[in-house]
Amino acid sequence: MEIQRNVSEFILLGLSYDHDIQIFCFVLFLVCYLALLLGNFVILVSIRCSSLFYQPMYYFLIHLSFMDICFTSCVTPKFIGDLLVVRKTISYENCMLQVFAMHFFGTIEVLILTVMAFDRYVAICRPLHYMVIMNRTKCHLLMLAAWAGGATHSFPQFSIAISLPFCGPNKIDHCFCDIFPLLKVAYIDTYITGVLILANSGIVTLVTFVVLFVSYVIILLTLRTHSAEGRRKALTTCGSHVTVIVLFFGPAIFSYLRPPTTFPEDKILALFYTIIAPMFNPLIYTLRNAEMKSAMRKVWC
């Protein structure tokens, strides 16, 4: 059957209709976005221009910083600009592009976090074989697998989104285009579609979270046999990773591991894992990392 679509643009309802609240949010999220760009740019340059680039952990960290910038930039500039206008619109094509880009870059970021957990597992549990297992070829292959995983997840989501018929209301109760808010304005019964989306997103979120959880449990059990100094250093590094995982996966699990419906809290949680959590990543990975601070001093000072 031919897809029926009489909608050429969508109206985003945003966070609030109150002008003062919108101005406050504009200043807040603009500062957050600029801090995110600056922090991740500093990490990118500091690692690339120092010897840390040849260490697997920092090789993955530089890719994580790049994904932070890409993932957040899918929606944040448009969202910040909409806070200054009364009528917040987005074209159908740009809306579909947002859906694809968010799931593509978001999944790659999740898989990079999983790869970083594997890297820490090898470094702590098999230190004598670390450089053999995590050689540069393996690192390239792991990153290629992360990109392939992002495409495998995002293309089905994108296919579902463009196959939805939109013939009536075009108001989306959200700050940007995402798959669940789009289901509410589609001109069909979307229960089965919602279940398929939940299965796709839920499996990715749940499996990666379980893998991360098991990895760090094994790491903690292994640390019992290490010296006090070795435990301190390993816990400092792993603590940074776990903090990032909790900040990112907490809202994501609530958003995608539940029945396919929408709640008022979804907008706040979506902004948290698209803007706030990535903003903290540079701080988390630099403030508690002596090697990063030393590299930053050498490169920038």
pLDDT at position 97, please?
92
Tokens of 174: 């959200």
pLDDT at position 1, please?
42
Residue 198's contacts (CB-CB under 8 Å, 6 or more residues apart) are: 256, 257, 258, 259, 260
Residue 94's contacts (CB-CB under 8 Å, 6 or more residues apart) are: 78, 177
Q: What is the mean pLDDT of residues 26-51?
A: 90
2, part of any domain: no
Residue 219 pLDDT > 60: yes
pLDDT at position 2, please?
47
Residue 170 in 3-state DSSP?
A: coil
The larger pLDDT score, comparing residue 195 to residue 136, is at 136
Q: Is 191 in contact with 242 (CB distance < 8 Å)?
A: no
pTM reported for the whole predicted model: 0.86
Residue 4 pLDDT > 70: no
103, part of any domain: yes
The pLDDT confidence band at residue 5, using thresholds 50, 70 and 90, is: low
Residue 256 pLDDT > 60: yes
CA angle, 238 as apex, 233 and 243 as ends, to 5°?
130
Tokens of 278: 């990535």
Q: Of 87, 99, 74, which is closest to residue 186 (Cα–Cα)?
A: 99
Rounded to the nearest 10 degrees, how much is the dihedral formed by the CA atoms of 53, 59, 63, 66?
-20
Count how many residues are written for the chain. 301
What sign has the CA pseudo-torsion 132, 236, 42, 65? Answer: positive
Q: What is the mean pLDDT of residues 176-184?
A: 83
CATH code at 178?
Answer: 1.20.1070.10
Distance CA 139, CA 137 (A): 5
4, part of any domain: no
Q: What is the mean pLDDT of residues 47-75?
A: 89
Q: What is the mean pLDDT of residues 242-259?
A: 73
Distance CA 301, CA 296 (A): 8
The domain containing residue 162 runs over which residues?
9-300
Q: How many CA atoms lie within 13 A of 272 on its CB side?
A: 16
The overall average pLDDT reported for the chain is: 82
The pLDDT confidence band at residue 257, using thresholds 50, 70 and 90, is: low
Distance CA 2, CA 157 (A): 19
Q: What is the mean pLDDT of residues 37-55?
A: 88
Q: Of 298, 294, 292, 300, which is closest to residue 58 (Cα–Cα)?
A: 292
Distance CA 158, CA 222 (A): 42
CA 227 from centre of chain: 35
pLDDT at position 144, please?
95
58, part of any domain: yes
The pLDDT confidence band at residue 196, using thresholds 50, 70 and 90, is: confident
The total domain count for the chain is 1
Number of CB atoms found within 10 A of residue 206's CB: 14
Specify the range with the lowest mean pLDDT, choosing from 38-42, 73-77, 211-215.
Answer: 211-215
The percent of residues above 70 in pLDDT, for the chain, comes to: 91
Q: Is 87 in contact with 49 (CB distance < 8 Å)?
A: no
Tell me the per-residue pLDDT of 266-291, one tens digit each, with 9 for 90 and over: 778 888 888 888 888 777 777 667 78
86, part of any domain: yes
pLDDT at position 38, please?
92
Residue 36 in 3-state DSSP?
A: helix
Backbone angles phi, psi at 84, to 5 degrees: -100, 0
Tell me the per-residue pLDDT of 76-109, one tens digit each, with 9 for 90 and over: 999 998 888 888 888 888 989 999 998 899 889 8
Residue 49 pLDDT > 50: yes
Rounded to the nearest 10 degrees, how much is the dihedral formed by the CA atoms of 112, 105, 148, 45?
-60
Residue 70 pLDDT > 80: yes
41, part of any domain: yes
